[in-house]
């Protein structure tokens, strides 16, 4: 059983997202779009699943530093845990800030900022690779002598705290605005308006931003997202899109030293002969439109049902992966990633998606049958696998046909 507090909190996340969806309905507000919310959660799924294979860059390297380089050994008491929590949040501030100020690090963090909506599902939109660039910021805590398990708990609590601040339903909170990071502060952080860019990096405490000059209070409503929208519902592409931008721009830079500067300078930097630094452009709110793709009610319903299957499979994997052989882990992780890609492609009505989705249905059904036969499971599970495949095939092709009609009308 995985005792990661973040994994254990997954049911709570979805309950709170469900409550926010209900509130938006009764308050007649448009906070969620199905395609955006599903992609946000899919990015969270791919981050958690890939994290199974990237443990070295999280607690693994921290443990190595602690075991071989620590100066002291800090005992575990209530007050040392409080100190560690504050210290972890301080380290998070700098890791987060540098993720905005170093282009290479931004390639890992940009995923979290891609959504053009702002709701609790955005909190789950995380990069699969950010941990590679940010893990070293916590090494001083290991050098001081804070135990790996204590650090893992405090880091998880810092992450869990940040879930609730991804909402537009909570306004400003009076005196708390000067102590903790609030939804108002974090809405600013997700804004792509020039005045809001690279502000309010704190995780739990806002005083780091006030102390180090990166604080900005919320004034007009932010425009959410990034200056170069990813314009895709593919969670895997979301993780690699900035790499493509970096590759294309680096090819235009002639000198090696400038290529290195491009990697480690602030996003938007170019040599003077190529135009120099490009600040965030002003948002034309009159003509601004979010990326969106029309889909039929039948297709949306199909995606919701299949996504429930994906969530169940991903949750089962995360809770049980510790006891699995590496080969089985890789196969299931690939199936989960494949499913998240096809669901994004369904939203976009890609021409190849019907065959890709048919392959996914077959793959899921065969995987279920494999576990049924391997573990001598009840006979009815075999019929469930067969029924799932037949119903999915029928619904898929009906939904795609209906969606073509919607797309033709939209044009």
Q: Which helix or strand (DSSP H or E) is residue 99 part of?
A: helix 78-101
DSSP state of 137: G
Q: Terminal CA-to-CA distance of the chain, rounded, Å?
A: 50
How does DSSP assign 38-92, residue by residue? HHHHHHHHHHHHHHTT-GGGTHHHHHHHHHHH-S------HHHHHHHHHHHHHHH
Rounded to an integer, the average pLDDT of 335-364 is 91
Rounded to an integer, the average pLDDT of 352-378 is 81
Cβ burial, residue 6 (10 Å; 0-12/13-18/19+) = buried
Residue among 124, 155, 130, 143 nearest 59 (CA): 155
| pLDDT score of 3 | 58
Q: Is pLDDT above 70 for 69?
A: yes
* 407 vs 151 pLDDT, higher one: 151
- 1 — pLDDT class (breaks 50, 70, 90): very low
Bridge partners (DSSP) listed for residue 205: 180
| pLDDT score of 406 | 63
- 380 — pLDDT class (breaks 50, 70, 90): confident
Q: Measured between alpha carbons, how far is 95 from 101 in angstroms, rounded to an integer?
A: 10
Q: How many CA atoms lie within 13 A of 223 on its CB side?
A: 20
For 198-247, write each residue's pLDDT tens digit.
Answer: 999 999 999 999 999 999 999 999 999 999 999 999 999 999 999 999 99
* 1 vs 149 pLDDT, higher one: 149
Rounded to an integer, the average pLDDT of 268-280 is 93
For 99-135, write each residue's pLDDT tens digit.
Answer: 999 999 999 999 999 999 999 999 999 999 999 999 9
Given a contact cutoff of 8 angstroms between Cβ atoms, the answer to whether 292 and 403 are in contact is no
Q: How many CA atoms lie within 13 A of 222 on its CB side?
A: 32
For 25-48, write each residue's pLDDT tens digit.
Answer: 898 899 999 999 999 999 999 999
Residue with tokens 């690939």: 334
In this structure, what are the phi and psi dihedrals at residue 272, rounded to the nearest 5 degrees?
-55, -40
For 161-188, write each residue's pLDDT tens digit.
Answer: 999 999 999 999 999 999 999 999 999 9
- Encoding tokens for residue 100? 């905005």
- Encoding tokens for residue 167? 């909402």
Rounded to an integer, the average pLDDT of 352-361 is 91
Bridge partners (DSSP) listed for residue 180: 205
Q: Is pLDDT above 60 for 2?
A: no
């Amino acid at each position: 059983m995985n005792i990661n507090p973040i994994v254990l909190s997954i049911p709570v996340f979805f309950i709170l997202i469900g409550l926010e969806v209900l509130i938006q309905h009764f308050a007649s507000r448009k906070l969620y779009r199905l395609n955006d919310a599903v992609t946000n959660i899919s990015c969270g799924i791919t981050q958690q699943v890939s994290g199974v294979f990237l443990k070295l860059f999280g607690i693994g390297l921290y443990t190595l530093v602690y075991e071989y380089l620590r100066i002291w050994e800090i005992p575990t008491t209530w007050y040392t845990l409080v100190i560690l929590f504050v210290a972890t949040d301080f380290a998070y501030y700098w890791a987060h800030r540098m993720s905005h100020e170093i282009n290479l690090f931004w390639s890992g963090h940009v995923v979290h900022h891609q959504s053009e909506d702002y709701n609790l599902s955005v909190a789950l939109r995380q990069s699969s690779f950010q941990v590679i660039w940010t893990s070293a910021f916590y090494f001083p805590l290991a050098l001081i002598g804070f135990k790996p398990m204590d650090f893992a708990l405090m880091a998880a609590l810092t992450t869990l705290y940040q879930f609730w601040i991804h909402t537009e339903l909570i306004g400003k909170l009076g005196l708390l605005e000067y102590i903790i990071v609030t939804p108002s502060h974090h809405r600013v952080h997700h804004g792509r308006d020039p005045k809001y860019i690279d502000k309010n990096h704190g995780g739990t405490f806002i005083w780091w931003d006030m102390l180090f000059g990166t604080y900005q209070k919320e004034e007009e409503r932010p425009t959410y997202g990034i200056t170069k929208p990813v314009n895709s519902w593919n969670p895997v592409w979301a993780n690699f899109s900035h790499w493509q931008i970096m590759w294309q721009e680096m090819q235009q830079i002639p000198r090696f030293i400038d290529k290195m500067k491009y990697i480690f300078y602030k996003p938007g930097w170019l040599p003077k002969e190529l135009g120099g630094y490009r600040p965030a452009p002003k948002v034309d709110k009159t003509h601004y439109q979010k990326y969106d793709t029309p889909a039929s009610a039948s297709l949306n319903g199909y995606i919701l049902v299949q996504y429930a299957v994906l969530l169940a499979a991903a949750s089962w994997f995360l809770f049980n992966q510790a006891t699995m052989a590496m080969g089985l882990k890789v196969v299931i992780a690939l199936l989960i990633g494949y499913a998240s890609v096809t669901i994004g492609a369904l939203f976009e009505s890609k021409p190849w998606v019907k065959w890709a989705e048919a392959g996914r249905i077959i793959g899921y059904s065969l995987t279920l049958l494999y576990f049924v036969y391997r573990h001598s499971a009840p006979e009815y599970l075999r019929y469930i696998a067969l029924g799932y495949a037949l119903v999915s095939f029928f619904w898929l092709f009906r939904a795609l046909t209906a969606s073509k009609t919607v797309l033709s009308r939209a044009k």
